[in-house]
A and B are shown apart, each in its own frame.
Chain A
């Protein structure tokens, strides 16, 4: 118990240090240019922090909810839905890139709607259908997006970066307002989901056990599905599909502090935010060009994960 508190304290301390360092360190080394720090780096760091944290958090919830260790936040087709939304926006030819987060969000919502209708058919819940529907719609949306690119006769760089994760989005006042509203709602959702940590613990013992403990399984799974997918959708709309974080961080967390969701959820959030911030720091400073963030999270995340896996086996 004491050990865990020290770990969490240490992590938060390190996270704050990281945020401060990220704020003042850029392409030209340490700099204190007010415009760059406040208008370029700060939105980017907040984006990385919330996206990384939320994705790891959502990954942990979905893995528990669907009793599947291979679940990641994109398994429900949300990322492909977002790419589809942006592609559709471009097809209408009126899309200013400042509107693309909104189109991405609407596309994700469309994907969630389809998946929900397939998985919760006639009042029953089918977990396998949920995963399968997610995968199928993910393929469907991806192929339609490819078709858009053929119609438009050019590769849509924005969509490519959206699929691979990108924190370098261009903000203006309008996108900033949308960003703040979406994240405000996201944080509320995070808190509500955290309130269901006990139910997630029960689910991990099996559906029957959970119901015998007095949990309304049907109601909880629907609520958690919705909250989590909206959470992921609002992050993907801005940061794109950052890979590795949502799948691996929850496992990493379980290695470090055990499987109790009361601890797993906040710990995943902090660890996810940290991994993305470190990756972004590398992307912003060391890499000569702006790389998609997934390249770095995966490249540096995998060896670390392998080490932990080896140690725990």
Chain B
């Protein structure tokens, strides 16, 4: 009887140690987008720390916070004994260097296009030994994406992410690639900066067909009341979209696919 019990205990411990082996991955995410990807891959059990900006999905809010995106606390990160820290360039370049000098492994995730985001999801899946699951996720996202119909006629669009002064998106932003995907032309695609501050004169001169507001303070009527903006085609025809959640568009996570879908539906009549 004792032998049976002994054997049983050994087997029990062996069984238990199996998930414990995997638990050895301890990830800290300093990027809300990577946090979302980790949740989408169902790897949240390995996530031991994230930032105060990581607010999606709801569960991400309850994970230990190491600080904000610009100045996370190095002490808190080290205390978590992470095996890998996910971060994003160029914002966290100096944090990356500091962590590397402390022999902490880092992973830089800064996709500039949809294609790069898909590659990134597979790479992140690989880190958690869930490559297959990641590939499945990417396939389903691609399938969703292919269901979205492109616009027949190319439309000019002005995206505003800050009202005063007006800040928009440039060529090297993730969102620019998304717009291209449904055949929308960003009027500031000639700017190299990802998020340039633009001149109001230029907005009026470039005369967009649509204005999309990605900041919570403004409503369509605010834009229409700005001096000089009445000359813009989008304002004349009332084609101002103000009810979008910026997080769907400004974070390079699987949610952007949902974002484009919503946007495409709003442009349905075109």
A143 CA to B132 CA, complexed, in Å: 48
Contact present for B205 and A27 (CB under 8 Å): yes
Nearest CB on A from B264, distance (A): 27
A96 CA to B201 CA, complexed, in Å: 22
Instruction: List, in ascending order, chain A residues with CB within 8 A of B58's CB.
Output: none
| Known contacts A98-B222, A290-B197; is-contact A36 B162 (Cβ 8 Å) | no
Q: Does B103 contact A (CB under 8 A)?
A: no
Instruction: Give the segment of A75-83, A169-177, A209-217 that binds chain B.
Output: A169-177
Contact present for B202 and A27 (CB under 8 Å): yes
Closest residue of chain A to B230 (Cβ to Cβ) is: A35
A290 CA to B204 CA, complexed, in Å: 15
Closest residue of chain A to B170 (Cβ to Cβ) is: A289
Instruction: List, in ascending order, chain B residues with CB within 8 A of A96's CB.
Output: 217-218, 222
Instruction: List, in ascending order, chain B residues with CB within 8 A of A150's CB.
Output: 68
Q: Does B167 contact A (CB under 8 A)?
A: yes
A28 CA to B52 CA, complexed, in Å: 43
Q: How big is chain A's contact interface, by range? A: 35 or more
Q: Does B198 contact A (CB under 8 A)?
A: yes
Contact present for B227 and A176 (CB under 8 Å): yes
Q: Does B193 contact A (CB under 8 A)?
A: yes
Instruction: List, in ascending order, chain A residues with CB within 8 A of B226's CB.
Output: 170-172
Nearest CB on A from B100, distance (A): 26
Chain B facing A: main interface SS: loop
| Residues of B219-268 whose CB lies within 8 A of A | 222, 225-228, 230-231
Q: Does A157 contact B (CB under 8 A)?
A: yes
Contact present for B227 and A39 (CB under 8 Å): yes
Q: Does A166 contact B (CB under 8 A)?
A: yes
| Known contacts A40-B204, A97-B218; is-contact A173 B227 (Cβ 8 Å) | yes
A141-178 CB contact bits vs B (8 Å, 1 = yes)?
00000000010011001100100001011111110100
Closest residue of chain B to A28 (Cβ to Cβ) is: B205
Q: Does B152 contact A (CB under 8 A)?
A: no
| Residues of A31-64 whose CB lies within 8 A of B | 33, 35-36, 38-41, 43
B109-149 CB contact bits vs A (8 Å, 1 = yes)?
00000000000000000000000000000000000000000
Instruction: List, in ascending order, chain A residues with CB within 8 A of B68's CB.
Output: 150, 153
Q: Does B57 contact A (CB under 8 A)?
A: no
Contact present for A168 and B165 (CB under 8 Å): yes
Q: How big is chain B's contact interface, by range? A: 20 to 34
Q: Does A26 contact B (CB under 8 A)?
A: yes
Closest residue of chain A to B224 (Cβ to Cβ) is: A172
Contact of A157 among B165, B191, B200, B201 (CB under 8 A): B165
Nearest CB on A from B226, distance (A): 5
Contact present for A289 and B198 (CB under 8 Å): yes
| Known contacts A170-B226, A172-B225; is-contact A36 B164 (Cβ 8 Å) | no
B46-78 CB contact bits vs A (8 Å, 1 = yes)?
000000110000000000000010000000000
Instruction: List, in ascending order, chain A residues with CB within 8 A of B193's CB.
Output: 289
Contact of B225 among A33, A40, A173, A290 (CB under 8 A): A173
Closest residue of chain B to A154 (Cβ to Cβ) is: B53
Instruction: List, in ascending order, chain A residues with CB within 8 A of B53's CB.
Output: 153-154
| Known contacts A95-B217, A289-B197; is-contact A36 B204 (Cβ 8 Å) | yes
Contact of B52 among A97, A98, A153, A166 (CB under 8 A): A153
A43 CA to B222 CA, complexed, in Å: 18
A260 CA to B52 CA, complexed, in Å: 56
A166 CA to B166 CA, complexed, in Å: 11
Instruction: List, in ascending order, chain A residues with CB within 8 A of B196's CB.
Output: 288-290
Instruction: List, in ascending order, chain A residues with CB within 8 A of B227's CB.
Output: 39-40, 43, 171-173, 176
Q: Does B21 contact A (CB under 8 A)?
A: no
Nearest CB on A from B251, distance (A): 13
Nearest CB on B from A282, distance (A): 12
Q: Does B104 contact A (CB under 8 A)?
A: no
Contact of A170 among B163, B202, B230 (CB under 8 A): B163
Contact present for A35 and B202 (CB under 8 Å): no
Contact of A39 among B163, B199, B228 (CB under 8 A): B228
Contact present for B162 and A27 (CB under 8 Å): no
The chain A residues found within 8 Å of chain B, CB to CB, are 26-28, 33, 35-36, 38-41, 43, 90, 95-98, 100, 150, 153-154, 157-158, 161, 166, 168-174, 176, 284, 288-291
For this complex, 19 residue pairs linking A to B, each with C-beta atoms less than 8 Å apart, are A26-B201, A36-B204, A36-B205, A41-B201, A95-B217, A96-B217, A96-B222, A97-B217, A157-B162, A158-B162, A158-B163, A158-B165, A161-B164, A161-B197, A170-B166, A289-B198, A290-B165, A290-B196, A290-B198
The chain B residues found within 8 Å of chain A, CB to CB, are 52-53, 68, 162-167, 191, 193, 196-202, 204-205, 217-218, 222, 225-228, 230-231
